[in-house]
């Protein structure tokens, strides 16, 4: 049997849409209104599958991360969004994959592994949900399992300030300064046993929190 080579990167259509949206909308907004600073962008490989692990404090985190790392990033999205005509095609092209929240763990892992096989960078919020302080306090093992199964290392990313953009006491978004810090890759776990996954997950969480503690 002929072994097909793994794609070097995401599909060309997705790459074109990413750059179109980044340079016409996302990047100008981030630099003009949020005065974004990005550290460690050179740590991001621009080709090949990649796992990005980060903290999570805002609905805006996915496009901010994608813009900061300079390449499309596939994030999970709730299944309901894929039932909306036109939008479903756009978010699929942009890398989103549907997840039924009632069976999110298994479905998300399969979808993330499939995206990695297609050459995507896959984004995973280490805690699995937004936190008020933007720190990783209770990391889940999903990223470690995906890394162990794929053999792909993880790249820690810290988002600083995004928890202040959308606040409950205001209908309009706030415009705090934002800082993104990108660390060094963390090797995939040696196996998928729980001890290895816990060790890997703690290393990722500690790396993200150290970057976040650097502040602006």
Classify residue 118: in a domain, yes or no: yes
10-residue averages of pLDDT along the chain (216 residues): 63 90 94 97 95 95 94 86 79 77 72 92 92 95 95 98 87 92 97 97 98 96
Amino acid 128: pLDDT? 85
SS3 annotation, the chain: CCCCCCCCCCCHHHHHHHHHHHHHHHHHHHHHCCCCEEECHHHCCCCCCEEEEECCCCCCHHHHHHHHHCCCEECEEEHHHHHCCCHHHHHHHCCCEEECHHHHHHHHHHHHHHHHHCCCEEEEECCCCCCCCCCCCCCCCHHHHHHHHHCCCEEEEEEECHHHCCCCCCCCCCCCCCEEEECCCECCCCCCCHHHHHHHHHHHHHHHHHHHHCCC
148 in any annotated domain: yes
Give a yes or no: residue 28 inside a domain.
no
Count of the separate structural domains present in the chain: 1
Whether 149 maps to a domain, the answer reads yes
Where in the sequence is the domain holding 171, given as residue range(s)? 33-213
């Amino acid at each position: 049997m002929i072994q097909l080579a793994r794609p070097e990167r995401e599909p060309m259509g997705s790459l074109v849409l990413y750059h179109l949206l980044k340079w016409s909308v996302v990047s100008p907004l981030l630099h003009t209104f949020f005065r974004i600073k990005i550290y460690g962008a050179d740590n991001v490989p621009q080709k090949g599958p990649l796992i990005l692990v980060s903290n999570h404090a805002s609905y805006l985190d996915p496009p901010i991360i994608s813009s900061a790392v300079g390449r499309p990033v596939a994030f999970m999205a709730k299944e309901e969004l894929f039932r909306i005509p036109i939008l479903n095609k756009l978010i699929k092209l942009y890398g989103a994959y549907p997840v039924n929240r009632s069976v999110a763990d298994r479905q998300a892992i399969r979808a993330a592994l499939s995206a990695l096989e297609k050459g995507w960078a896959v984004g995973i919020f280490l805690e699995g949900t937004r936190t008020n302080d933007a720190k990783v306090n209770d990391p889940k093992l999903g990223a470690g399992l995906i890394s162990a199964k794929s053999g792909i290392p993880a790249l820690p990313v810290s988002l600083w300030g995004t928890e202040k953009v959308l606040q409950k006491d205001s209908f309009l978004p706030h415009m705090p300064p934002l800082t993104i810090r990108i660390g060094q890759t963390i090797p995939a776990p040696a196996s998928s046993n729980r001890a290895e996954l816990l060790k890997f997950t703690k290393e990722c969480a500690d790396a993200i929190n150290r970057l976040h503690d650097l502040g602006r």
